[in-house]
Amino acid sequence: MKICMIGAGYVGLVSAACFSDFGWNVTCIDKDEGRLALLNRGEIPIYEPGLDDLVARNVAAGRIQFSGSLPEAVRDADVVFLAVGTPVRRGDGYADLTYVFEAVEELAPHIRDGIVITTKSTVPVGTGREIERRLKALRPDAEFAVCSNPEFLREGSAIRDFTHPDRVLVGCDEGRGRDIMARIYEPLSLRSAPVMFVSRESAELAKYAANSFLAMKITFINEIADLCEEVGADVSEVATAIGADGRIGPKFLNPGPGYGGSCFPKDVSALARTAREARAPVTLVEQVEKVNMERKIAMGARVERASGGSVHGKTIAVLGVTFKPNTDDMRDAPSLVILPMLQSRGATVRACDPQGRPQAEQLLPDVEWFVDPIEAAQGADVLLVLTEWNEFRALDLKQLRSAMSGDVLVDMRNVYSPRHAQDAGFSYSGIGRGT
């Protein structure tokens, strides 16, 4: 089986590496020459645990190659996967499909009969039909199938998620598309991963519905956490109690500063717009988008409150700026709202993050960066935890406290035990720990 993967980003690169590890021959195409140069030197352009070893092993075995030359890779392929970005369209909040349709135009001249074109990018319902329409217009002579295969991996655990999925979802009609997709995922289905075949529209919509549901779950527990603080309850106890009910489930009930990342914010926004356009508004999802945006701003105000009402002239040491641990991805990270807000109120910000700094330096101006959390905390009035990297969990709180000049610890990921923090001399505030 020969695969052409268009896009060597978080999804394309991980999928390409995992498919090559199944034994398929994969050519991964990207437009970004810098990214290609790194890959061809054996370096991985993103931080994803385990990806360097996986890529190296499959490069050495000759099963994966990286190229900027689309024609050759498409001509040879049984399947072309589209794994290009689908960011929010500026101005109206819809999914921007520019990269998807550009890729379709580029590949059209090179397809041969029997080829399968599959979207792995998250695309609004109806995009598969539109891709088919455009391809037919460009290549009326060619026979091909267009499938949808939305990806459910998470950054930070992407390889495990890809190779041990809760399900693989494929949207297509009966016929060659379905046969080829079944064959590609056979290494997983033979290990009992459910490969579900549904209509293309159902697959496209299910991806947005899944991300929006998870975003809703997080938003729900965030609001319950706020309530806990007012009434003296503890959100972790409440989450454990409700999560024990199999109908609710224990996952995605960790409160925090609001969800971020490259997908939840944009996919919630796109689903809300798609639904309005289809005259079937999902008002619950619209509310999730609004509440989550307001939460990030409220988190800035929370730091001010914890600092005695103002951060003017104060120094804030920040542990973690990425939207979640185990990634270098800064897209829509809560830090991008909270830190500029604190700076605009007169605070000086010092920060450290195990992997986020290269991207964050471009996005967060006037932040002083440190490798060591204790150094970042030196002389600070306030310590603010924004990302729950494991590296921060075992820090010596007494050492941190004595490095600082103030005693405020705002723990937006509930990484520390309130009692340990208080014993170390901190004035501690977490999320939803109302007691």
Known binding site for substrate: residues? Answer: 152-155, 207, 252-256, 260, 324
Q: Which one of ligand UGA, ligand NAD, none is in contact with 121 (Cβ closer than 5 to 8 A by kind)?
A: ligand NAD
| Strand, coil or helix: 338 | helix
Instruction: Give whichever of 389 and 428 is closer to ligand UGA, judged by the CB atom.
Output: 389
CB 373 within 8 A of CB 392: yes
- Taking CB under 6 A as the rule, does residue 124 contact ligand NAD? no
Residue whose C-beta lies closest to ligand UGA: 263
State the residues that interact with ligand UGA by CB under 6 A.
122, 151-155, 211, 214, 218, 252-254, 256, 259-264, 323-324
Q: Which residue among 5, 25, 27, 30 contacts ligand NAD (CB under 6 A)? A: 30
Query: Own/partner pairs for 391-398, CB < 8 Å, 24+ apart?
Result: 391/354, 392/319, 392/320, 397/421, 397/423, 397/424, 397/426, 398/424, 398/425
Q: Quick one: 410 exposed, middle or buried, by C-beta within 10 A (0-12, 13-18, 19+)? A: buried
Nearer to ligand NAD, 79 or 239 (CB): 79
The entry of ligand UGA, ligand NAD, none near residue 219 (CB within 5 to 8 angstroms by kind) is none
Of the candidate residues 3, 4, 8, 275, the single one contacting ligand NAD (CB under 6 A): 8
Q: Are 397 and 332 in contact (CB under 8 A)?
A: no
| Residue 35 near which of ligand UGA, ligand NAD, none (CB within 5-8 Å, type-dependent) | ligand NAD
Contact partner, 253, from ligand UGA, ligand NAD, none, Cβ < 5-8 Å per class:
ligand UGA
Residue with tokens 């996952």: 251
Task: Just list the catalytic residues.
Answer: 263
CA separation for the pair 158, 57 (Å, rounded): 17
Task: Round to whole Å and give the CA distance between 285 and 264.
Answer: 11
CA distance 145 to 131: 10
Member of 85, 171, 354, 406 binding ligand NAD (CB under 6 A): 85
Residue positions forming the annotated binding site for NAD(+): 30, 35, 86, 122, 155, 266, 331
- Binding status of residue 121 toward ligand NAD by CB under 6 A: yes
CA distance 423 to 435: 16
| Alpha carbon distance 186, 298 (integer Å) | 47
107 binds ligand NAD (CB under 6 A): no
Q: CA 431, CA 238: separation in Å to the nearest integer?
A: 13
Q: How far apart are CA 385 and CA 73, in angstroms?
A: 45
CB of 84 to ligand NAD, least distance (A): 4
214's contact among ligand UGA, ligand NAD, none, with CB below 5 to 8 A by partner kind, is: ligand UGA
Closest to ligand UGA by CB, 206 or 349: 206
Binding site for ligand NAD (CB under 6 A): 6-12, 29-32, 35, 83-86, 99, 102-103, 106, 121-122, 151, 153, 155, 262-263
